[in-house]
Amino acid sequence: MDLKQLNAFIAIAELQSFSAAAKATGLSQPSLSRQLKQLEADMDVMLIDRYHRPLQLTEAGQFFYDKVSSVLIELNTITSMTKRLAAPSTALNIGFVPSVLYGHLPEIIASLKQQNPDIDVTLKDISSYQQVEALKAGEIDIGFGRFAYQDSWIQQILLRHERYLVALPKAHPRAHTKELRLIDLADNRLILYHQTHLPVSTAITSVPTTKNGRPDNESLPITEPLLHLFAQYGITPLMTTEVSDLQVALGLVAAGEGITLVPASLKTVRTEQISYQRLIHENATSPIYLHTLKDVVHPNISNLLSAIYQVYEQRGITYRRQRFV
C-alpha cells in the first residue's frame, strides 16, 4: 500500500467517477484504475462497487474511506508544518472573523507595524471554522475568532470577553430602555447569525418550529451562542430567524424584522435605524480568542501579543494576560 494508491482511492470515492478522479489527480484512467486494483489486491478487499453509476463505496470501502481520509489530512498538515519549520516565513498572515474588525484589530495592527516596521502583515476575512483548516494548511499563522476549538493541533488564548448589546429597531417599544433583561426580549423574533452550524453559503432561512411556533430544539444544536445564552436563563425565544452573517442580521433589525445581540464594538453600525442597549446580565459576553498552531509558533507572535495588551492597557480594557505554552 502506498500514498499514490490511497490518493487515487480517495479521489474516486469523493468524485464517484473514474474520469473525474483521473482529471483531478492528473493520472490517466488506466493508471488510476491500476492503483485502485493494486490497493484492493493488497488488502484483499473490494472497496468500490463498479457496477453502480455513479460509483459507490462498498461497506468496507466506506469504513476505509472514513478512517484513511482523516489520516491523509493529518499527513498533509504534518508535511506543511514541517516545511514551515524548515523555512519560517517572515510574513505574518492573520485570519479574522468580521466582527473583530469593529473592535481593536485595526489599532492593534497599526501599533504592531509601528513598533516592527519590517513586519509584513496580511489580513484575511475568514470564518471561525475555516480558520482551523487555514492554520493547518499554512494559509494563515494566526486566527482571531469567537469560538474555542477542541483540536489537537491548535492552541488558543482567550484575549477578553466583550459585552453583548441588544440591537433593536429604533421604533421598538424597548428601544430606549437602558438596562434590559433577556426575559424582556423573549417575545421578539431573535435573529441568529453565528456560523456554528450553518453551511457557508446559507442565505436567510427560518428555523424549524414546533406546532406552537417555538423553535424546534430537537433540530437546533445548543452550540448556537445566542440561544445558549437565553437557555441559561431558561428562556426559549418565541421566534427565530437564521441569517448568514452579522451584517445581514443588523440589516434585518434596521428593517424592523426582529432584534439580535451583538458584541459592543458594533454599537456604531446603522445607528440611524438601530438602538443598542445594555443587558443587565454580566455573563452576556462574546469571547475573543487568538488561535495558532501548537508546534509552529510564528516568530512575531510575541510582538503581536504585546501590541494587543498595549492597546488594552491604553484603552483601559479589562483582560487577563496569558501566554502560549
Q: Which of 39, 100, 198, 284 binds ligand BEZ (CB under 6 A)?
A: 100
Q: Which residue is nearest to ligand BEZ (CB)?
A: 103
Round to whole Å and give the CA distance between 138 and 202.
27
Pick the closer one to ligand BEZ by CB: 22 or 108.
108
Tell me: does residue 13 bind ligand BEZ (CB under 6 A).
no
207 binds ligand BEZ (CB under 6 A): no
Nearer to ligand BEZ, 64 or 144 (CB): 144
User: Least distance from C-beta 322 to ligand BEZ, angstroms?
Assistant: 13
Q: Which is nearer to ligand BEZ, 209 or 247 (CB)?
A: 247
Compute the residue count for the chain. 325
Contact string (CB under 6 A) for ligand BEZ, positions 243-282, x = contact: ----------------------------------------
220 binding ligand BEZ? (CB under 6 A): no
Residue 285: half-sphere exposure toward Cβ, Cα within 13 Å: 12
- Strands across the sheet containing 239-242: 189-192, 239-242, 205-206
Rank residues 273 and 303 by Cβ distance to ligand BEZ and give the closer one: 303
Under 8 Å between Cβ of 253 and 234: no
Q: Please report whether residue 288 would count as binding ligand BEZ according to CB under 6 A.
A: yes
The least CB distance from residue 197 to ligand BEZ, in Å, is 24
Long-range Cβ pairs for the range 41-44 (8 Å, 24+): 42/1, 42/5, 43/1
Closest approach of ligand BEZ to the CB of residue 123, in Å:
10
Cβ-based nearer residue to ligand BEZ, 172 or 298? 298
The torsion angle over the Cα atoms of residues 78, 156, 311 and 106, rounded to 10 degrees, is 60
Minimum distance from residue 6 beta carbon to ligand BEZ (Å): 39
- Whichever of 129 and 309 has its CB closer to ligand BEZ, that residue is 309
* Strand 142-145 versus strand 91-96 pairing type: parallel
What is the crossing angle of helices 59-86 and 3-15, to 10°? 120
What are 245's three cell numbers?
452573517
Q: Which three cell numbers stand for residue 42?
A: 493488497
Write down the residue that cell numbers 510575541 correspond to. Answer: 302
Is 32 a residue that touches ligand BEZ (CB under 6 A)? no
Selected range binding ligand BEZ among 47-55, 57-65, 70-78, 104-112, rule: CB under 6 A: 104-112
Distance of CA 68 to the CA centre of its chain: 24
Cα gap 303→300, rounded to integer Å: 5
Least Å distance between CB 298 and ligand BEZ?
Answer: 15
Q: Does 144 bind ligand BEZ (CB under 6 A)?
A: yes
Is the Cβ of residue 104 or residue 298 nearer to ligand BEZ in the bound state?
104
Q: Are 226 and 261 in contact (CB under 8 A)?
A: yes
Q: Can residue 159 be called a binding residue for ligand BEZ (CB under 6 A)? A: yes
Alpha carbon of residue 9 to chain centroid = 29
Using CB under 6 A as the criterion, which residues of the chain lie in contact with ligand BEZ when the complex forms? Answer: 100, 103-105, 108, 144, 159-160, 288, 308
